Structures are given as structure tokens and as C-alpha cells.
Amino acid sequence: MNKRIYLITLLLACRICNAQNIVPNGDFELFYGCPQGFQSAGNLDSLLYWINPSTVATPDYFNQCGTSPYVGVPSNILGFQPAYSGVAYCGVWSASILGLSKYREYLAVPLLDTLTADSCYYFQMYVSLGNRCMYATDDFGAYFSDTIISGLTHSNALGKSPQVKNPQGNILNDTLNWTLISGSFIAAGGEIQLIIGNFKKDSNTTVISMPWVAGQNPSAYYYVDNVSLIKISGCNTGVNEIKVNSLIKLFPNPMSDKLNVTSSSNELLEIIIYDVASRKILQQKFANSVTLSIEQLAKGIYIYEIRDRNGLCKKGKVVKD
């Protein structure tokens, strides 16, 4: 136990000194032990820093080292999704229209530094809908609280107004790729905790039905990965550059004999395609656009990464019919 406390203290100190991401363990790669499976209060106790703010709801932690097929990566109870980076991510139930329509799950974490009043911050996270979900929604966001919210004895919507949220009408129905949710905001001051999820009540939540698949789960359930918050000099400064990589497009998906990749930027990029066993299949550098011949690939699911000079900027799945 003493070693664990020392490790947490050391990691906090290091991250504060670097003055970068104010969200600790935003990629969910730091953990006490591999997730064992689903439990009555979720399995976030395997994670460093992150907590379940409710004693009733059960948000989940998924890791490649999971000892149960329900909580593995890339395969788990909700479908198949490699991590955006690393080997782990979390997941939350966000909406439904069945008997559990009022049920919500949230991810919460104390920030490494208290937010400063009238200062601008840029937040981003990546989400992906589980393959076996019956529903999808556009209601998902990040709320920064000036008090620690924990020990809730209910699993209802929190009714908060998130400072950063997915745009209304942008239904998060992509089960193949990770979708970026991002935005900047001016802090009121004193915010010390981040909470992620759907904060709207049922009457204000948009829910659409997804195509039927075997083993479907009656929810809009989202994987969450690569969560970050940085302080920026102004709410119109630096954000466009961060968002450029979200304008990279791959099509068609599913693919048959060709895969097209386009980018709105003029910088040199590289696409790498792996099979589900993480073996490198294709690698190609390009600027603006490229068309890959994939006739030789067997039918199935493949993982792609697109990198620029700074590293990974987009990752997802493509399917070969």
C-alpha cells in the first residue's frame, strides 16, 4: 500500500512539472491490476486516479490484459475495438429507450491542477460506439466541477451543463472508428474534477436505433480513450491546428479492392494497416490523398493508423468485404 501511494504521488508530481495534460491517466494505461470482469459497482478500482461517482451505476474498464473475455481489448462484451492508443480504454452506458432509459454511467477523475478563472482550456477525448449497441445518441460531453462528486446513491442523469459537448445532431453511431469530441472554454475558476457522460434527462436526450446484430445490448454504450485538457493562451488560439487531423477521411468502409485516404492538410502523412494480430500489412506515405490497392487482403477487420511528423493522429478500423 505504501508503494502504491508513493507511485501515485510521484506520477502526480511529474505530470504537474511537465504542465501538459491536466487529466491524469487520460489514456487509461496506468492501473493497479488487470480487470477481472464485471462487478456490482463496475471495475474502475483497477485504474489509477479514475473513479465511479455512483455507488449504483457500473462504468467499465477494458484492458488487453483483462482476465475475462468481457473486459478485454480489442474484443469484449460490447464488441471489437482496438484502443485509440495503447491497450486500454473505459466505457459508459449513456442512453436507452427501454426500461433502463433513466440509467446513466459516468467516468470521473480529479484534475492535476485547479482551473484558473477567466483562463482558456482546450479539451478533447475520443469515443466509439460499441458494436453490439441497440442505440446511439448525440448527447455526450465533459463537465468540470468545482466540487468532488462521488458516493451518489442513484444512477440518474446528473443534469449538469457540460463545458464541452458533442455537437447537437452529430449522432455518435460510428462503431468502426474513434470519433473526436473537442472544444475550448473559459473556466469559471476552482474546477477540480472532470466528469464524462450524458448529462441530459430522457426528455432531452436524442436516441436513434442501430441495425440489429446478434447479442445486441439495449443501450447507447461508448468506449472512451485519450482524454486530455490543456491550458491555452486564448480560446481562438491553437485550436484549429489541433483539429486538423480530424479532417482525415477514409472511404469506402467496408472496402473491396481499393481504399481512398484524403486529408485537408498539405503535410506529409503515413498510413499503416495492421491485421487483428497487430501484424503490419501495408505502409504508405502520402500528401493530400492516396488510393491503396487492397485486393490481396483477405476478408475481415483491419486496423489503420495515420501518422504525421508528431506521431499518431488518427486510428480506427476498416472492413474488407
Domain with residue 304: its CATH number is 2.60.40.10
* Minimum mean pLDDT range among 200-214, 258-272, 299-313: 299-313
Instruction: Report percent pLDDT > 70 for the chain.
Output: 88
Could you give the C-alpha distances from 194 to 87, 158, 224, in angstroms and in order? 22, 13, 14
156 shares a domain with 91: yes
Q: For residue 295, what is its C-alpha cell? A: 485486393
pLDDT over 80 (residue 162): yes
Residue 252 to residue 262: CA distance in whole angstroms: 12
235 shares a domain with 269: no
Average pLDDT of span 198-221: 91
Q: What is the pLDDT, as a whole number, of residue 8? A: 43
139 shares a domain with 32: yes
* Minimum mean pLDDT range among 103-107, 218-222, 254-258, 306-310: 306-310
103 contact partners, CB below 8 Å, separation of at least 6: 57, 93, 96, 155, 156
191 shares a domain with 147: yes
For 235-289, what is each residue's pLDDT tens digit? 753 333 344 455 788 999 899 999 999 988 778 899 999 988 788 899 999 988 9
117 shares a domain with 134: yes
Q: For residue 78, what is its C-alpha cell? A: 460490447
pLDDT over 80 (residue 128): yes
Domain boundary among 241, 269, 302: 241
The alpha-carbon radius of gyration of the chain (Å, integer) is 20
Domain boundary among 201, 223, 241: 241
Structural domain boundaries, residue 25: 2-241
**What's the structural domain count of the chain?**
2
287 shares a domain with 229: no
Supply the pTM of this predicted model.
0.77
Confidence grade of residue 232 (pLDDT, cut at 50, 70, 90): confident
275 shares a domain with 222: no
Strand partners, 206: none
* Minimum mean pLDDT range among 113-122, 159-168, 228-237: 228-237
302 shares a domain with 271: yes
285 shares a domain with 155: no
Strand partners, 93: 221
Confidence grade of residue 160 (pLDDT, cut at 50, 70, 90): very high
Contact 281, 265 (CB under 8 A): no
For 15-26, what is each residue's pLDDT tens digit? 333 448 999 999
Q: Find how far residue 241's CA is from the centre of its chain.
A: 20
310 shares a domain with 183: no
Domain boundary among 241, 261, 282: 241
Average pLDDT of span 186-207: 94
